[in-house]
Amino acid sequence: NAGVTQTPKFRVLKTGQSMTLLCAQDMNHEYMYWYRQDPGMGLRLIHYSVGEGTTAKGEVPDGYNVSRLKKQNFLLGLESAAPSQTSVYFCASSYRGGGYNEQFFGPGTRLTVL
C-alpha cells in the first residue's frame, strides 16, 4: 500500500497563478483533510471531507477550494495564488473522524508563491 500520496512535491508559482494539489489514499478512508504548516503556527486545517462528494471549511479556508469526486482523491485548488499562501501543504486521511482515529499524512507539498 502506498498510503497517502501527494503531487507535486514542490512548486513555485507567481502571484495570481492557479494550481491544483492532488492527494490520493489507498486505505479506503472516509475522512480526508488538507492542512498547511507554517513556522511557529503549527498545522492548520484548510478544508476537510467526511466522504465522497462532501467537503467542508476548516480553520483557514479563504483562497482555497477543494473537491472530492472520488473517495480516494482529495484535490486542493488555489485560484489566484498569493505570497501569503507560501507554505508546506499536507494532506491526511483517517478511517473515521480525526478525533478518534489516527490521521495518516502524505509527504507534503512545498509551495512558494513569488
Partner 1 sequence: RKEVEQDPGPFNVPEGATVAFNCTYSNSASQSFFWYRQDCRKEPKLLMSVYSSGNEDGRFTAQLNRASQYISLLIRDSKLSDSATYLCVVTLSGGYQKVTFGTGTKLQVIP
Binding site for partner 1 (CB under 8 A): 35, 40-45, 48, 50, 56, 90, 97-100, 102-103, 105-108
φ, ψ (nearest 5 deg) of residue 83: -55, -30
Q: What is the DSSP pairing of strand 10-13 with strand 109-113? A: parallel
Cell of 88: 508546506
Please state the length of the chain: 114
Shortest spacing between CB 33 and partner 1, in angstroms = 8
Q: Please, which residue, 26 or 102, has the CB nearer to partner 1?
A: 102
Whichever of 79 and 102 has its CB closer to partner 1, that residue is 102
Report the greatest alpha carbon distance in the chain.
39
In the bound state with partner 1, the residue whose beta carbon lies nearer, of 77 and 98, is 98
